[in-house]
Amino acid sequence: MRRLTAEALGTGLLIVAVIGSGIMAERLTQDVALQLLCNAVATGGALVALILIFAPVSGASFNPIVGIVGTLLGEGSWKDTALYAIAQTIGGCAGAVIANVMFDLDAVNLSEKVRTGSNIWISEVVASVGLLVVVYGTIRAKRANLVPFTVAAWITGAYFFTSSTSLANPAVTVARTLSNTFAGIAPESIPMFIVMQLVGAVIGFGIIRFVFEESAE
């Protein structure tokens, strides 16, 4: 229960940072590039802090696809992966509600921001593969202490170099439907995003097994 609480809390606080910084950026400037920069920097900073403090408790994945790949690599059980995913999704949704309320918006305000198209779906595959390779590549390089920084660096960059702005996380994707703001995503966009994230997980798993486990032999 302690680990599940840590995952829920960490994912919730991450969503507070993602949605909250997007709302603040929209209120501070009309420059979309600057809005995205604010959103990316706030998200990256929050990731470093949250992974550092929660990693000793739960592993601080905050992301179902990280858990799925870990289980495929023999580092966890499917039961724990499922429980983590539920906790992460619940925590993320709670974080979205909190972010909305902090900025005097309706607690639940479904996003109308439709994100669709093959370019966006491919971007989610790339973002997910990259995230997984960064996470497990850093660990396989025996530099697990650097994971907070390598993950934050990847996500911050991927906000800019992917057309989907790199959600790369099913729990976060679901949570972001609850805010019709800068970081939101319309509910109807969820299915393909999650499918592409899972495709990315499969590809990422294959790359990790081939590149990093082979190099370790």
In DSSP terms, 109 is beta-bridged to 179
Question: What residue segments make up the domains of the chain, in order of their start?
Answer: 2-216
CATH number of 2-216: 1.20.1080.10
Helix runs in the chain, H state only: 2-28, 32-58, 64-72, 78-102, 118-140, 147-161, 170-175, 190-207, 214-216
**Count, residues in the chain:** 217
Provide the pLDDT for residue 76.
Answer: 86
Query: Is the pLDDT assigned to residue 148 strictly greater than 70?
Result: yes
Residue 212: pLDDT band (50, 70, 90) is: confident
Provide the pLDDT for residue 171.
Answer: 98
- Give percent of the chain above pLDDT 70: 98
Query: Is the pLDDT assigned to residue 91 strictly greater than 90?
Result: yes
